Amino acid sequence: MNSRNVFICLVSLILALLAPLAGAQNAPSGNQPAVAYTSVSELNGIIAPLQQTAQSILTDLGKIHIEKWKTSASNKQETLTNVESVQRNLQSALPEIITQLNNSPENLVTSFKLYRNLDALYDVFGSVVESAGAFGTKDEFQSLGNDMTGLETARRAFGERMQKLTASKEDELTHLRAQVKTLSAGPPAPPKKIVVDDTEPAAKPPAKKKAAPKPKPPAATTPAPTATPPSKSPGTSPTQ
């Protein structure tokens, strides 16, 4: 796997991680987020030369005569198919993506779409240029070679922009996730107040001694009655 494919895989992975943020960017909103002037200026510095290169490619492809090349019919047909594919892309797909990106300069999904389109153009158009060098005239190869250089410059510049955008958006997403985590945790509990009382406690009065209970007076005793012997009547004697 070459470095270009590695970069595409890395960008695809980052875009997958940034899917929530990219969705928020694509959501319709009356207030579009402000984009820094430097970012817009950088994008314009890539798009303007790219559009000039695209127009030059279309013009030069219309001047080549593949039918006169000294090669097999199958090679000619393959080259014609590639030329038609490049022309359709430059006339339809590429202008549409550029319009979308101008409306949202830092949209990650649209930015990656443009980069992949430039990558596909680079491969297909590169095959046409190689065939022109092998079977076409010197002028055909030179003009198409210059166009290839312009396309490569635009592709490399936009690849560098994609790296900066993904890094910036990843930092932004990390910050947003931290904010969401903080909000979901609720407000922090107020700190407990610790009151230190350094005043000396007042001296307690001495405990009162309980008075000893007074002894109860002895209960009054009533003398038991004494038995009185029966009195004897005079003149009577005990019965025999």
Residue 81 lies in a domain: yes
Q: Give per-residue pLDDT as tens, 95-127.
A: 999 999 999 999 999 999 999 999 999 999 999
Closest CA to 8 of 97, 120, 125: 120
- The angle at the Cα of 187, spanning 184 to 191, to the nearest 5 degrees, equals 145
Residue 21 lies in a domain: no
Distances, alpha carbon 128 to alpha carbons 41, 91, 95, 188, 210, in Å: 32, 17, 21, 65, 121
Which domain range does residue 84 map to?
40-176
The pLDDT of residue 222 is 57
Give yes or no for residue 71 having a pLDDT over 90. Answer: yes
Region 22-45 average pLDDT = 68
Residue 142 lies in a domain: yes
List, as one string, the DSSP characters of 93-162. Answer: IHHHHHHHHHHSTT-HHHHHHHHHHHHHHHHHHHHHHHHHHHHS-HHHHHHHHHHHHHHHHHHHHHHHHH
Residue 17 lies in a domain: no
The pLDDT of residue 25 is 45
Residue 238 lies in a domain: no
Give yes or no for residue 230 having a pLDDT over 90. Answer: no
Indicate the number of domains in the chain.
1
Q: Which amino acid is at 37?
A: Y
Top-confidence range, 14-23, 26-35, 123-132, 214-223: 123-132
Q: What number of residues does the chain have?
A: 240
Residue 10 lies in a domain: no
Residue 27 lies in a domain: no
Residue 114 near residue 164 (C-beta atoms within 8 A):
no
- Specify the CATH number for the domain of residue 161: 1.20.120.230
Low-confidence winner among 22-31, 72-81, 221-230 (lowest mean pLDDT): 22-31
Q: Which amino acid is at 196?
A: V
Residue 26 lies in a domain: no
Q: Give per-residue pLDDT as tens, 182-201.
A: 777 766 667 776 766 666 66
**More confident: 188 or 59:** 59
